């Protein structure tokens, strides 16, 4: 891939996920500090700060780029702040990458961090009868797990997925995350324990639905020229694609926070579904295909959703994800490990940090620094993520 189409990752950093209850800025600064240290750069060399926003922490969260820049000490660096639900972190990466590829800056810092309330995510306060996110809770009581469960049940009915398959995903990811110091849940679980946990949204149980977490993640990105000069080597980890495409009409999958889909009565739904289109755009931009992928980090908001992603990032055909799982292909040591970090299953979701954290994991894997969860010989990784209101992202990282 030509140097003017990719950016180098000089450093990655994370603040451990948990329910720490402190100010989100603290997590962002810790992650940024680690990423800068890994890059071997002082903060004052950063020319551009791309923040990923949190909507549950007041004004500082809405202008996260400036919040982090001020906290690190004003240097005159340009800033941006992006909110794109679960894809916020990828939008921040995309902003920094675009600035670098356009030649507007050489080196940028990407930061996302969140402090989350307890329990189900609910709409931000106030009575808002024109907000679909407010209405779905008020009129139906449809939480995020409601949607995950509708997809899971559909998989069971169409493709013969079983509750045992869903539990096996949780068991796999819990084992992978055991040695990950940044993971919140580091405890092995058995299928029996998963299947004995309370039913939240049938067929999904408590241990199969991702929690909401505090955490922070950061990346230092730069131009290839800058990286070669700074690192003194061509052996770099690079971001080769950032897909943030939106759905195409008619969007026929019930998508958070919608109560309905688009109508396909006058316009046929042709081509791939939305989630697959996100990954397809990333593959196309990177000039690779699913056969080139060594590992993947996908958004397992529920255990069952990970199976959908196997098909959407095209590790297998539709209806074959259960076989991939059962054959051990997606376990560390298998053909193409998925969520070697432990995934959202072990992290819980810190919304603006999560898509950045996915990339951090790929960076460390490709550098061979993932310790006990290392995927041997990893050369190319892909992330996949989806959030509310037509947001999704997929990032291709290679070495």
Partner 1 sequence: MPPVKTRLPAVEGWFTLDDEAPALLGSKCTSCGNFAFPKETYFCRNPHCQGREFAETELSRTGRVWSYTNAGYQPPEPYVAADPYVPFAIAAVELAAEQMVVMGQVVAGVDVGDLHVGDEVELVLDTLYEDDDHEYVVWKWRPVAGGGAHGQTTGGKVGTGA
- 320 makes contact with partner 1 (CB under 8 A): no
Nearer to partner 1, 134 or 299 (CB): 134
Peptide bond into 203 cis (omega under 30): yes
- 33 interacts with partner 1 by CB under 8 A: no
The reply to whether 140 sits near partner 1 by the rule CB under 8 A is: yes
Residue with Cβ nearer partner 1 (127 or 291) = 127
Tell me the residue length of the chain: 399
**If binding is defined by CB under 8 A, does position 245 make contact with partner 1?**
no
In the list 157, 234, 235, 291, the residue contacting partner 1 (rule: CB under 8 A) is 157
End-to-end CA distance of the chain: 11
146 binds partner 1 (CB under 8 A): yes
**Judging by beta carbons within 10 Å of its beta carbon (0-12, 13-18, 19+), is residue 66 exposed, middle or buried?**
middle
Residues 101-120 that bind partner 1 (CB under 8 A): 119-120
151 binds partner 1 (CB under 8 A): yes
Q: Which of residues 118-137 bind partner 1 (CB under 8 A)?
A: 119-120, 122-123, 127, 129, 134-137
Listed residue (249, 276, 247, 274) closest to 263, CA to CA: 249
Q: How far is CA 53 from CA 32, 59, 345, in A?
A: 15, 10, 22
Are 277 and 271 in contact by the 8 Å Cβ rule? The answer is: yes
Strands 380-387, 295-298: pairing kind: parallel
For position 308 contacting partner 1 by CB under 8 A, the verdict is: yes
Asked if 89 contacts 353 with a C-beta cutoff of 8 angstroms, the reply is yes
Does the footprint of partner 1 cover residue 390 (CB under 8 A)? no
Site for partner 1 in 181-210 (CB under 8 A): 198-204
Q: Using alpha carbons, list the distances in angstroms from residue 250 to 213, 246, 264, 346, 360.
A: 34, 12, 6, 35, 34
Residue 142 Cβ, how far from partner 1 at the closest point, in Å? 6
Among 189, 228, 254, 290, which residue sits at the site for partner 1 (rule: CB under 8 A)? 254
Residue 231 vs 253, nearer CB to partner 1: 253
Alpha-carbon Rg for the chain, nearest whole angstrom, is: 20
256 DSSP assignment: T
Query: At closest approach, how far in Å is the CB of 125 from partner 1?
Result: 9
Q: Based on CB atoms, which residue is closest to partner 1, 156 or 178?
A: 156
Under the binding rule (CB under 8 A), the answer on residue 299 touching partner 1 is no
Minimum gap (Å) between residue 346 Cβ and partner 1: 22
CA 272 to chain centre: 21
Q: Is 99 in the site for partner 1 (CB under 8 A)?
A: no
Residue 58: CB atoms within 10 A of its CB come to 9
Beta bridge partners of 201: 204
24 in Cβ contact with 31 (< 8 Å): no
Question: Should residue 162 be labelled a site residue for partner 1 when binding is judged by CB under 8 A?
Answer: no
Which of residues 47, 57, 88, 143 is near partner 1 by CB under 8 A?
143
Task: Give residues in contact with partner 1 (CB under 8 A).
Answer: 119-120, 122-123, 127, 129, 134-143, 146, 149-155, 157-159, 198-204, 249-254, 258-270, 272-276, 308, 311, 318-319
């Amino acid at each position: 891939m030509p140097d003017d189409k990719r950016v180098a990752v000089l450093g990655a950093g994370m603040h451990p996920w948990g329910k720490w209850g402190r100010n989100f800025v603290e997590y962002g600064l810790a992650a940024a500090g680690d990423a800068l240290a890994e890059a071997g750069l002082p903060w004052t060399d950063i020319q551009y700060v791309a923040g990923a926003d949190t909507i549950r922490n007041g004004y500082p969260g809405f202008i996260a780029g400036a919040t982090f820049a001020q906290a690190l000490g004003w240097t005159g660096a340009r800033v941006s702040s992006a909110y794109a639900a679960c894809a916020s972190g990828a939008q921040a990466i995309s902003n920094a990458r675009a600035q670098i590829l356009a030649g507007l800056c050489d080196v940028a810092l990407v930061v996302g961090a969140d402090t989350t309330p307890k329990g189900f995510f609910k709409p931000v306060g106030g009575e808002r009868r024109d907000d679909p996110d407010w209405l779905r809770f008020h009129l139906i009581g449809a939480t995020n797990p409601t949607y995950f469960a509708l997809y899971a049940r559909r998989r069971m009915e169409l493709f013969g997925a079983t509750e045992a398959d869903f539990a096996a995903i949780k068991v796999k990811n819990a084992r992978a995350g055991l040695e990950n110091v940044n993971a919140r849940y580091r405890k092995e679980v058995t299928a029996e324990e998963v299947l004995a946990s309370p039913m939240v949204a049938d067929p999904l149980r408590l241990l199969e639905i991702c929690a909401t977490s505090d955490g922070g993640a950061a990346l230092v990105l730069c131009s290839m020229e800058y990286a070669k000069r700074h690192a003194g080597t061509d052996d770099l980890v690079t971001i080769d694609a950032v897909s943030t495409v939106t759905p195409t009409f008619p969007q026929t999958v019930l998508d958070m926070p919608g109560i309905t889909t688009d109508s396909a009565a006058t316009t046929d739904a042709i081509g791939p579904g939305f989630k697959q289109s996100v990954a397809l755009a990333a593959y196309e931009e990177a000039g690779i295909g699913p056969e080139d992928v060594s590992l993947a980090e996908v958004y397992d908001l529920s255990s069952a959703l990970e199976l959908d992603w196997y098909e959407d990032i095209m590790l297998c055909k539709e209806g074959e994800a259960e076989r991939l799982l059962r054959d051990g292909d997606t376990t560390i040591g298998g053909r193409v490990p998925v969520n070697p970090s432990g995934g959202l299953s072990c992290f819980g979701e810190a919304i603006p940090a999560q898509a950045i954290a996915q990339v951090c994991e790929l960076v460390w894997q490709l550098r061979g620094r993932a310790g006990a969860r290392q995927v041997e010989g990893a050369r190319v990784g892909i992330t996949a993520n989806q959030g509310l209101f037509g947001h999704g992202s997929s990032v291709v990282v290679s070495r």
